[in-house]
Amino acid sequence: MRKIMRVAAFATAGMAALALSGCGSSGNNAGGELPDSIPESVDAAGQKLTVWIMQDDYNDESIAAMTEKFEERTGATVDVQIQQWDGIGTKLSTALGTSTPPDVVDIGNTQVAGYAANGALMDVTKYKADLEQGNTWLAGLEDPATIDGQLYAVPGFAGNRAVIYNKTLWADAGVTAAPTTWDELTAALDKVQAANDASDFSALYLPGQHFYVGLQFIWDHGGEIAVVDEDGNWTSTASENIEALEAWKEFQDTYSVASSDTVFTDSPEQEQIIADGKAGAIVATNGSINSIIAANPDLTEDDLGSFPIPSQNGDGTQPVMLGGSDWGIAAKSKNQELALIWVQIATSDEIQVDHVFGGQGLMPNSVENGEKVTADVPANRVGFFEAALTSRATPASPNWTDIEGAGILKDMFSTIASGKATPEEAAATYDAKANDYLK
């Protein structure tokens, strides 16, 4: 993604041990062969690693911790360069194409496919076990970094969406616990709607253009928005998901006001709508809890809660679209061995638990580290961590970001929600447009 909505700050978590293995080496692979595994230590005194990190992704303390451990293991220095989001796509593409690219780059998880397709990123499949360090990466971060079975980037941290609800308003309607099944969800929303009969009230305010939630319905019904064949050719498959699109329309029509059918989450701001008491719930990122409280100081942390949308088709929850950050290594880097060590450190248990989560409140990159920190997550934010355990990512097509940028996904779900087109018509229109981008 261009820039994910950041997860809000949580409580500090305890320290987990950093497990590293391997043997020492020189640390200079320019023009030479790389080792079979990531070494525990190298003698790279006098060498320098260049790392590009996007603004606001990692704070000073996290970067300092990574740098300290890297210098201890290698003797090399690090030149961390903070990059601005504006124009980063062009800047990064240009830099990776030179003979002296940044060695390590912090990139959005949905951007990996484009750079990998252009041969700009190192294939790190050989080192996957060393980089996983005994953990199971969140699928929504790993999947878009895996192209044709090969790994081109390593998960850094995650962010996602869940239902944020006004617990006080729900309790007034007789609902005192977050739903864990689809039937419980619809029963709760029915009660909330019945207890609030204003014409502009939504039990769950859900903008028609909110394609992130629309995709959850498709994935929950076992579908895909696009598929790739053995030759690497992508095809849009919205028309194969009519049942899911019908379920989306029914849910959105039932629980959100008609005025939401043709808008996105920021027009008007959905956080303002729930803050004003005109909605019992919204689907948003973790940081929206702070925005809601800021919009209505009468609300407190205790008034709000979160939970993942339960699956409509069985146990568990709907798969959520996971946004976040991955670490990539430049294919033309002359310091790939050192780059591998940096990435291993940046994704280690200690950095993930103590800094990515503990110091910044970001969601760790693996199931195991997510479970470690759950006990330290404030109760009203636990739903986001629960949701992330069942995650997906957008298709790993190098052209997917063009589809999102064109707004055609928003248009498809919006025209379905508003009734301007049937699910069949809207899906067919979308597929035709999407296939032009996927070619």
**Residue 371 resides in a domain:** yes
Work out the average pLDDT over 278-294.
92
Q: Is the dihedral of CA 432, 434, 436, 439 positive or negative?
A: negative
Token pair for residue 403?
Answer: 């589809």
In this structure, is residue 4 part of a structural domain?
no
Residues 300 and 253 in one domain: yes
Separation in Å, CA 93 to CA 2, 96, 102, 227, 400? 14, 5, 11, 26, 16
Is 39 within a domain?
A: no
Question: With contact defined as beta carbons under 8 Å apart, do 381 and 306 qualify?
Answer: yes
Please check whether residues 282 and 184 belong to one and the same domain: yes
Identify the band that residue 56 occupies on the pLDDT scale cut at 50, 70 and 90.
Answer: confident
Tens of pLDDT, residues 325-380: 999 999 999 999 999 999 999 999 999 999 999 988 889 999 999 999 988 889 99
The pLDDT value recorded for residue 9 is 33
Is pLDDT of 6 > 70?
Answer: no
DSSP state letters, 182-206: HHHHHHHHHHHHHT---TT-BSSB-
Amino acid at 52: W
3-state class (DSSP) for residue 420: coil
Residue 82 CB burial class (10 angstroms; 0-12, 13-18, ≥19): middle
Average pLDDT over residues 109-122: 91
| Shared-domain flag, residues 183 and 138 | no
Please write the tens of the pLDDT for every residue from 233-270.
999 999 999 999 999 999 999 999 999 999 999 989 99
pLDDT at residue 14 above 80?
no
- In the predicted structure, residue 15 carries a pLDDT above the cut 70: no
Say what the pLDDT of residue 13 is.
29
175 pLDDT higher than 70:
yes
Which domain-ending residue is among 356, 382, 408? 382
Report the alpha-carbon distance of residue 326 to residue 131 in Å, rounded.
12
Which pLDDT belongs to residue 12? 28
For residue 285, what are the β-bridge partners? 161
Asked whether residue 85 is assigned to any structural domain, the reply reads yes
Would residue 278 count as lying in a domain? yes
**Residue 17: per-residue pLDDT:** 27
Closest C-alpha to 319, from 234, 230, 229, 222:
222
Asked if the structure places residue 224 within a domain, the reply is: yes
Q: Average pLDDT for residues 15-34, to the nearest whole number?
A: 44
Whole-number Å distance between alpha carbons of 30 and 32: 5
Residues 299 and 329 in one domain: no
Instruction: Looking at 2-87, list the stretches that DSSP marks H as alpha helix, in order from N- to C-terminal side.
Output: 60-74
For residue 32, the model assigns a pLDDT of 62
Q: Tell me, what CATH number does 119's domain have?
A: 3.40.190.10
> Where would I find the beta strands (DSSP E) of 57-205?
77-83, 104-108, 146-147, 150-151, 154-159, 161-166
What is the C-alpha to C-alpha distance for residues 293 and 278, in angstroms, rounded to an integer? 15
CB-CB neighbours of 143 under 10 Å: 20
Identify the pLDDT of residue 169.
98
Residues 258 and 294 in one domain: yes
Mean confidence (pLDDT) of the chain: 91
Same domain, yes or no, for 171 and 143? no
147-174 confidence digits (pLDDT tens): 889 999 999 999 899 999 999 999 999 9
pLDDT at 413: 98
* CA dist., res. 324 & res. 140, Å (int): 9
Is the pLDDT score of 22 beyond 60?
A: no
CA–CA dist 403, 395 (Å, integer) = 11
295 shares a domain with 193: yes
> How far apart, in Å, are the Cα atoms of 63 and each of 79, 80, 377, 387, 397?
11, 8, 23, 28, 31
The two beta strands, 226-228 and 234-236, are antiparallel
Q: Within this chain, do residues 278 and 423 fall inside the same structural domain, yes or no?
A: yes
Look-up of token digits 């019945």: 194
* pLDDT 10s digits, 391-439: 898 898 989 888 988 999 999 999 999 999 999 999 999 999 999 999 8
Q: Which of 76, 141, 130 is nearest to 106 (CA)?
A: 141
Domain that holds residue 129: 48-159+323-382
Supply 371's token pair: 């479970």
What integer pLDDT is reported at residue 89 of this predicted model? 85
What is the reported pLDDT for 375? Answer: 85
Average pLDDT on 46-68 reads: 95
In a domain, 1, yes or no: no
Beta bridge partners of 146: 151
The pLDDT of residue 29 is: 57
What is the pLDDT, as a whole number, of residue 412? Answer: 98
Q: Per mean pLDDT, which range of 70-74, 96-100, 287-291, 313-317 is the poorest?
A: 287-291
pLDDT above 90 covers a percentage of the chain that reads: 77
Q: Is the pTM of this model over 0.75?
A: yes
In total, how many domains does the chain have?
Answer: 2
Q: Return the bridge partners of 363, or none.
A: 158
* Torsion, Cα of 101, 103, 107, 109 (10° steps): 120
pLDDT at 396: 87
Residue 290, pLDDT score: 87
Last residue of a domain, one of 340, 355, 382: 382
CA distance 330 to 95: 9
In this structure, the answer to whether residues 199 and 121 fall within a common structural domain is no
Domain-embedded: residue 127: yes
Looking at the fold, whether 410 and 366 belong to one and the same domain comes out as no
Residue 328 shares a structural domain with residue 293? no
Q: How confident is the model at residue 18 (pLDDT cuts 50, 70, 90)?
A: very low
Together in a domain, 189 and 115: no
Percent of the chain topping pLDDT 70: 93
Q: Report how far residue 230's alpha carbon sits from residue 235's, in angstroms, rounded to the nearest whole number.
A: 12
CA distance 144 to 399: 12
Higher pLDDT, 118 or 240: 240
